[in-house]
Structure 1
Amino acid sequence: MNTVNDHTLTRAARQKMPVALDVAVEVAKANGVCIRPILLRRLDTHTGTTEDVNVPCGTTRETVCPPCARRNKQLRKAQCREGWHLDHEPVTAPDPATEDQRWLIEFRADVQAKRDAAERTGMSEEVADWDAAIQAIDEEIRTAGMRGSLSGRAASRRSRSTRRRQDAPDLPRRAMRPTTLGRTFTGAEGKVFRPSLFLTLTLPSYGRIQAGRGVPVDPASYDYRRAARDALHFSKLVDRFVQNLRRVAGYDVQYFATVEPQKRLAPHLHMAIRGTLPRAEVKAIAAATYHQVWWPEADTVRFDGEHLPVWAPRADLPEGQSHPDGQAGDYLDPDTGEVLPTWHEALDRLDQDETAEPLHVIRFGDQVDVQGVLAGTPDADQCIRYLSKYLTKSLGESLDADDAARRDHAARLVEALRYEPCSPACPNWLRYGVQPKGAKPGMTPGRCRGKAHKPEHLGYAGRRVLVSRKWSNKTLAEHKRDRRTWALEALGLTDEATDPHRYVWKPVPAGDADAPSLALRLLRMVAERQRWRTTLLALDARADGQEIPAVGMREAA
C-alpha cells in the first residue's frame, strides 16, 4: 500500500515539473532571442559548403514572438526620431544607371519589339515564348538594382466630379514650395528653433459610451454599420487628410503615423508632422476632410442563407480566351437565371445615374488634439514612446478581454463587418446582387478571406505604421542595416560579401533528419546572444554618452 502511494506521489510530483523546452523558450525571451526562428540552409557556391542559419521570424506581434516584436518596435522608434526634426533636405535624386543596367533595358526593348511583331502576325506560340523571356528579363532588372515595372499597362480610372460637397467647408490653397522642412524661429538669444507637431485624429461618435470602459450604453442604438464602414475606409480618409494638409501648408509635409484602436474599438491616428502650422488651421483641415466611397448600393439584401447566386462557366468562349472582366464565368440569379451585373457594369450604371449618392461618406470626429513639439525635449521623447506604444499589439485584443461587455461589443462589431464589402473583389457583393471584381467559382457572402474581415483587425486592413517617403531619407530596411552594421563593428566582426549570386538559400523542410531540434537551436542562439551582450555592455561602460545609430547599446544588448 505504501509502495503504491509512493509511486503515485512520485508521478504527481513529476507532472508538476516544468518542460525543458518551455524553460528554453522563457530563457530565449529573457535574452531577446526569437522563439520561432525559421531554419534556412545556405549553400556557399564558392566553397560548396552548407550551413544551417536561424533567421528571426520578424513578427510585429508580442503575442507571437515578444523579442522580434520589441526589436521591430525599437526600429520604428529610431525611424521616427531620425526624421521628425530634420534640418536638411533628404537626398531624393536616384543614382545614375550603370552600364549593365542600361544594357538590360536595351535588351528588354529588343525582346519587346520581337514579341509585338509576333503578336501582329498572329503567332501565338511565339508570343508565349517571348512573354516568358520578358518575365525572366524583368526579374533580372529587379535584381540589378532598379525599381519600378516596365510591363504594367496604364490603369483606367473613372473620373468623377471634383467639386467639394456642400456640407464641407472650403480650404485655402497655398503655392507649393519645393521643400520638406517646416518654418524655423529665432529666439531672443539667436537660438534657432524648429518646432513640429504631434496630432491625434479620431472618428465620430456612433452612440453613447460608458466612461472608462469603451462599451455602448445602449448596444441596440449603437450604429455598428457606420462604425464598420468607417473602419473599412479609414486608410482612405487618412490619405485625403495628408493631401489637404500639404495643399494648405504649401510644402511637401512629411509624417510618421500609427493607427491604434480606441477603447470603443474605432481606429484613430497619432501623427508626428515635420514642421508646424497654426492649431486652428490643422483643426479646420480635419473638419473639411472627407472621403466618398463610390460603390454600388449595399444596403438592400437580395440573396441570403441558402438562396445564393449560382456559378455558370462561360462555355461559349473559345479555349484560352478570358472573360472581358477577367472571369471564366458568371454568377446567376438562382430563380430567374438572370446574369448578375459584373463589377464594371455596376459602376457604369452608377456613373450614368445623375441622382446617385456615394455608398458611404467618412469623416473625422470633432476630437482633434494638436501639440507643438521641439526637437530633443522630453516632450518629443514622450510622443515617440506614445506613437510606438501599441505597435506590438493587435487591433482586436478586446476579443479576449476579461470584461464580458467588451467581448460582446467586439463580437457585435465583427458581426457587423461580416457582410460589409471590404473591396471590389469581396464575395459579399453577391449578397447585394453584384458580381465581385474578377469573380470566380466558390465565392460565398460572409466568408471573405480579406484582412479586414479577420477578427483581430476589426475592419482596418491598412498598414499600422504610415511613413512618408522623405521622412528619414531611409527605408526601414536601411535602418535595420544601420543597426546591423554598428553591431558588427562593435563586436569586431566583418560583414560577409554581398555578392547576391554567392549563396543559395533553401528552407529546411519539417522532419529533416539533419535539422537540430528547436530546443537545441534556441540554446545555441541564447549562448551567442549572451556573448554579444557581454561585449556590448563592456563597450557601453567605456563609451557612455556616445551617439549610436538606430538604437543605443543597452537596447541592442
Structure 2
Amino acid sequence: MARLRQLPLIDQEITHLANTPGFTRWLEQVTATGGCARPVHLTGHTTTVDAATGEILHHYDTRDEPGERLLVRCRNRRRTVCEPCSRLHAGDTYHLVRAGLTGGKTVPATVTTHPRLFVTLTAPGFGPVHHTTTDGTRCRPRRGARRCEHGRPLGCAHTHLPDDLAVGQPLCPDCYDYTGHVLWHAHAGELWSRFTRTLRRHLATTAGIPQTRFRAHARLSFAKVAEYQRRAAVHVHAVVRLDGPTGPDDRPPAWATTALLADAVRTAASRITVRTPYSPALGEHTLRWGTQLDVRPLDTGDLADDAVAAYIAKYVTKSTAETTTGTDHPIRTFDDIATTPATPHVRTLMHTCWRLGGLPELQPLRLRAWTHALGYRGHILTKSRAYSTTYRDLREVRAQYRGAPALSEQNRTLSRSAWRYVGAGHGPGAALIAESAAHELLLNQITAQEAFEGSGGFQ
C-alpha cells in the first residue's frame, strides 16, 4: 500500500533519472552493485602507479561519474536490509563452510576422511512458551485447570501453525526469567569458548596425552552460526572437524575417531558453566547450555555435506527481525523500545537489556548497545583459523574474476586514494530500478546454474 501511494512520486523520479545525462552509466553502477538496495555513495579518486618507475598506470575520479559519486555494495548480510547483498553473503558462506567439509578453496579433499560432526547447541529453558504443533497435537495439554501464581493457565489446548504469532511467546510473562535470558545471551560467546577448550581437554584426556600437548597431536577446527529461535533465544549450529596437528592437510591420529569426537562433544556441553558477575540487585547466575543437544556424524551418509553448508548459509542471512519480530538497528534510547515493531515478549527482553545495562557491575556487558540483539554480542558466523578459506579470500577471487589485476601485478604497483562517504540508499524510483536489476541478475544466475547442471558440470 505504501508503494501504491508513492506511485506518482516514483514515476516522476524514474522519468527524471531516464532523462538525466549519464543515466546509462548510473545504471551500469547499479548493476555492478548487484542491485544493492542500500548502496554506499562515495566521492574521491584513486591513482595506480608503477612502484619502480612512478609511471601513472591508471587514474579514476568520481568527478566523471553521474552525480560525481560512485555506488558500492552495502554488504549487509541481513535479508531484511538488502536482499541482493544477503544473497551474495549466503553464497560466500556456503562455499566457506562447504570447503571445510569436502575440500576446495585451499582445503584438500582428504578432509572428508577426517572425523566431522554437525552439532546443535541450544539455550536452556527460561519458562514455558507456546510452540508449533503441526502434527495436530495440542500445544501444552494439561489435566485440570491449574494456574501459575499469577493466575494464568499452565497449559495450552490450542494447535499452533508455524505462522501463529503466539508461537515463542511465554505462557506467563511474569513467570518467565527475562533476566536469565538476557544474561545467557550476553555470555553465549564465553560459553562457546569454554566449550571448545573443554572439548580439547577431554579429547586429550581420553587419548591419554597431556592436555597441554593436545595441539602437538591434533587440531580442532569448526565453523558455527548463531540462530534466533522463535522464543527469541539463540542456539548454535556448528560443523566440528578433527585434523592432524598442522591442520586440514594433515591426517588425524589413529585415536581420533568420529565416535570419540561425538562423545567428547556431549561431555563438554554438559559440563560447561559460566558464572555472571555478582550484582547486589541480581546476585549471581550460573549459565549453561540447554539439555537439547543434537550431534550428527557426517560420515554416515545421513546428512549430505552440501545440505549442511546450505543450511548454515541460510541462517547466516537471517536477522533478529525475521525470527523474533525485533529490529536490526541499534536502540538509541529507552523510548525507542516502545515504538519498535516487536512482540510484547521481545520488547520485554529489550526493556530488560536496557534496565540491566544501567547497573554499574554489568557495564562491561554493554547490554544497552546490544539491546536490539536482545543482549547477544557475538558474531552470527565464526570459524577457527584452519577450518577453511576466508570471506576476504573469496571476495578477492571474485574481484579477479571480474577483471581486477592479479595479486602479482598488484604487488608491483602502488595506489594513492582519497575517498569520502556522502550518503547511502536510493530514492523510491531508483530503488525500483535497482530492484528490477537485482531480479534480472538473479534470473540470469538461475538460468546459468540450470544450464551448468544440465551439462553435467565440469568435464
Q: Are residues 1:196 and 2:122 paired?
A: no
Q: Are residues 1:299 and 2:259 paired?
A: no
Q: Are residues 1:501 and 2:414 paired?
A: yes
Q: Are residues 1:452 and 2:370 paired?
A: yes
What is the DSSP-based 3-state SS (H/G/I as helix, E as strand, rest coil) of the residue aligned with 1:417?
helix
Matching residue within 91, 94, 98 for 1:74: 91
CA distance in 1, matches of 2:241, 2:378: 22
Distance 1:366 1:506, change over 3 A: same
What is the DSSP-based 3-state SS (H/G/I as helix, E as strand, rest coil) of the residue aligned with 2:422?
coil
1:162-311 paired onto structure 2 within 5 Å: 193-212=113-132, 213-250=167-204, 251-275=218-242, 276-278=258-260, 279-293=262-276, 295-299=277-281
Q: Are residues 1:380 and 2:305 paired?
A: yes
* Contact 2:356/2:367 (8 A) holds in 1: no
Distance 1:504 1:85, change over 3 A: same
* Contact 1:29/1:66 (8 A) holds in 2: no
The Cα offsets for residues 357-401 of structure 1, whole Å up to 9 and x where unpaired, read as x83321011100011113998622222222122222222442359
Q: Are residues 1:364 and 2:355 paired?
A: no
Distance 1:298 1:270, change over 3 A: farther
Give the C-alpha shift of residue 59 in structure 1: 0.9
Give the C-alpha shift of residue 241 in structure 1: 0.5
CA distance in 1, matches of 2:175, 2:367: 29
Distance 1:274 1:85, change over 3 A: farther
Give the C-alpha shift of residue 31 in structure 1: 9.3
Deviating more after overlay: 258-267 vs 211-220: 211-220
RMSD, matched Cα = 4.7
Distance 1:461 1:510, change over 3 A: closer
Distance 1:227 1:547, change over 3 A: farther
What is the DSSP-based 3-state SS (H/G/I as helix, E as strand, rest coil) of the residue aligned with 1:254?
strand
Aligned AA (2:370): A
* Contact 2:31/2:437 (8 A) holds in 1: no
CA distance in 2, matches of 1:61, 1:519: 21
Matching residue within 37, 42, 45 for 1:42: 45
1:117-136 paired onto structure 2 within 5 Å: none
State the partner residue of 1:476: 391
Q: Are residues 1:59 and 2:71 paired?
A: no
Q: TM-score, normalised by structure 1?
A: 0.52
Distance 1:378 1:14, change over 3 A: closer
Gaps of 5+ in 2: 18-25, 49-55, 63-69, 133-166, 205-217, 243-257, 328-339
What is the DSSP-based 3-state SS (H/G/I as helix, E as strand, rest coil) of the residue aligned with 2:35?
coil
Distance 1:216 1:450, change over 3 A: closer
Give the C-alpha shift of residue 230 in structure 1: 0.5
Gaps of 5+ in 1: 1-12, 92-180, 185-192, 301-357, 422-427, 438-445, 549-557
State the partner residue of 1:442: none
Deviating more after overlay: 49-58 vs 242-251: 49-58
- The number of equivalent residue pairs is 346
What is the DSSP-based 3-state SS (H/G/I as helix, E as strand, rest coil) of the residue aligned with 1:228?
helix
Aligned AA (1:50): Y
* Contact 2:182/2:353 (8 A) holds in 1: yes
Distance 1:297 1:88, change over 3 A: same
State the partner residue of 1:429: 359
Give the C-alpha shift of residue 413 in structure 1: 1.2
What is the DSSP-based 3-state SS (H/G/I as helix, E as strand, rest coil) of the residue aligned with 1:242?
helix
State the partner residue of 2:248: none
* Contact 1:374/1:380 (8 A) holds in 2: no
Give the C-alpha shift of residue 266 in structure 1: 0.9
1:12-161 paired onto structure 2 within 5 Å: 16-17=7-8, 19-20=10-11, 32-40=34-42, 41-44=44-47, 46=56, 49-52=59-62, 53-86=70-103
Distance 1:547 1:462, change over 3 A: farther
Which structure has the higher relative contact order (CA within 8 Å, separation 6+)?
2
Give the C-alpha shift of residue 195 in structure 1: 4.6
The Cα offsets for residues 114-170 of structure 1, whole Å up to 9 and x where unpaired, read as xxxxxxxxxxxxxxxxxxxxxxxxxxxxxxxxxxxxxxxxxxxxxxxxxxxxxxxxx
Give the C-alpha shift of residue 200 in structure 1: 0.4
The Cα offsets for residues 519-550 of structure 1, whole Å up to 9 and x where unpaired, read as 49977x959x96x969x9499669944459xx
What is the DSSP-based 3-state SS (H/G/I as helix, E as strand, rest coil) of the residue aligned with 1:389?
helix
Distance 1:417 1:15, change over 3 A: closer
* Contact 2:224/2:237 (8 A) holds in 1: yes
What is the DSSP-based 3-state SS (H/G/I as helix, E as strand, rest coil) of the residue aligned with 2:168?
coil
Give the C-alpha shift of residue 510 in structure 1: 5.5
The Cα offsets for residues 200-259 of structure 1, whole Å up to 9 and x where unpaired, read as 011111111212211111111111111111011111001110111122234321001000
Distance 1:508 1:248, change over 3 A: closer
What is the DSSP-based 3-state SS (H/G/I as helix, E as strand, rest coil) of the residue aligned with 2:99?
helix
* Contact 2:186/2:377 (8 A) holds in 1: yes
What is the DSSP-based 3-state SS (H/G/I as helix, E as strand, rest coil) of the residue aligned with 1:214?
coil
CA distance in 2, matches of 1:79, 1:547: 20
What is the DSSP-based 3-state SS (H/G/I as helix, E as strand, rest coil) of the residue aligned with 2:239?
strand
Aligned AA (1:285): A
What is the DSSP-based 3-state SS (H/G/I as helix, E as strand, rest coil) of the residue aligned with 1:63?
coil
State the partner residue of 2:380: 464
Give the C-alpha shift of residue 465 in structure 1: 0.4
Give the C-alpha shift of residue 451 in structure 1: 3.6
1:501-540 paired onto structure 2 within 5 Å: 501-507=414-420, 509=422, 519=430, 526=437, 537=448
The Cα offsets for residues 289-310 of structure 1, whole Å up to 9 and x where unpaired, read as 11223x342426xxxxxxxxxx
Aligned AA (1:452): W
* Contact 2:226/2:380 (8 A) holds in 1: yes
Distance 1:520 1:58, change over 3 A: closer
CA distance in 2, matches of 1:367, 1:538: 38
State the partner residue of 1:306: none
Aligned AA (2:281): D
* Contact 2:272/2:289 (8 A) holds in 1: yes
Give the C-alpha shift of residue 73 in structure 1: 1.1
